[in-house]
Chain A
Amino acid sequence: MRISTRGRYSLEALLFLALLPEERYASTREISAQTGISDGYLEQLFILLKKAGIIRGIRGPTGGYLPGRDPELITVGDILRSVEGSLAPVACIASGSCPSESECLSRHTWDRLYREISSCIDGITLADLAAAHQNQEKPEFAL
């Protein structure tokens, strides 16, 4: 039950962009150099992320990318859904997709799991991640 590399790399790239100073943006090459994710793979992911409005591009030879809106308004769920598609743990959860929908007992379990996953990732914003990163990187002063 894994999040794919698409999802994991997208979160990493977005966190990188969210940590840039105000008004700054970064090219896929810069992001690649910092994260080790291949340039070409980032380009592919960015097509999807751009379409979803999660990032936007600045054109030109010195162009690059930045978050498409306030990081407070971008959730982990938004990012994962735009590159992974549906996050339902089983395909049959989409209503009307299964003929035994009404009598299927296991469906409740998957439904409950899906709601839990959704509420978790929809409750974490890119701004939360950026703040957590800043806390994590703060030097700790021992007593």
Chain B
Amino acid sequence: MKISTRGRYGVRLLIDLAEHADESHVPLAQIGERQSISPRYLEQVAVLLRRTGYIRSVKGASGGYALDRSPSEIVIGEVLRVLEGDILIVDPLRPGETESPLQRCIRASVYDRLNARIADVLDNITLASIIGTVDPDESYMYFI
């Protein structure tokens, strides 16, 4: 029941880019150093995030990456769906697949509910709320 390394690193990559948004772009090597993540691994994550329109790459010798959307439009649930494939707690039922009454009951009472609560939390956290650039009253960071 874990978020994968890819998911965790992707979120840290986006946070780092948001924190350095004043620079036109940031080389992955710098982010790797600041975040203690291998640049080669970051590159893999960056490719996925670029392909899905979250970040853009700047080519050239001093190239790097920058956010391609406003932090308030980057929803963590969506980012994790890109990086993790989905954010479900069990495999969804395949079409035509049937379950025993016990399994059906547990799916409805536990898995479906858990999936809904997880999606609800992660779809209400934006990159802006993480770095604290939103109205404090709406930011979960002030939630105790």
Name A residues whose Cβ lies closer than 8 Å to a Cβ of B: 1-4, 7-8, 11-12, 15-16, 35-36, 76, 80, 84, 87-91, 100, 105-106, 108-110, 112-113, 116-117, 120-121, 124, 128-129, 132-133, 136-137
Contact = CB atoms under 8 A, between A and B. Distances in A.
A4 B89 CA distance: 9
A74 to B, nearest CB: 13
A15 B1 contact: no
B54 interface: no
Contact of A108 (B104, B109, B141): B141
B11 A2 contact: no
B125 A124 contact: no
B1 A3 contact: yes
Contacts of A108: 130, 140-141
B45 interface: no
Contacts of A90: 2-3, 8
A109 B123 CA distance: 11
B54 to A, nearest CB: 15
Looking at chain B's contact residues, the main secondary structure is helix
B102 A15 contact: yes
B8 A35 contact: no
Contacts of A89: 1-3
Given A36-B100, A117-B117, 11 more contacts: A2-B89, A12-B103, A89-B2, A90-B2, A105-B15, A106-B11, A108-B130, A108-B140, A112-B143, A113-B122, A120-B117
Given A15-B105, A108-B141, A136-B101, A1 B114 contact: no
A113 B114 CA distance: 11
23 contacts: A1-B4, A11-B106, A11-B110, A15-B106, A16-B102, A89-B2, A106-B15, A108-B140, A109-B122, A110-B8, A113-B3, A113-B118, A116-B117, A116-B120, A117-B117, A120-B113, A124-B109, A129-B105, A129-B106, A132-B105, A132-B109, A133-B102, A136-B105
A133 B101 contact: yes
A129 B12 contact: no
Nearest to B84: A1
Interface centre among B87, B109, B117, B118 (most CB of A within 10 A): B109
A12 B88 contact: no
B76 interface: yes
A102 to B, nearest CB: 14
B102 A105 contact: no
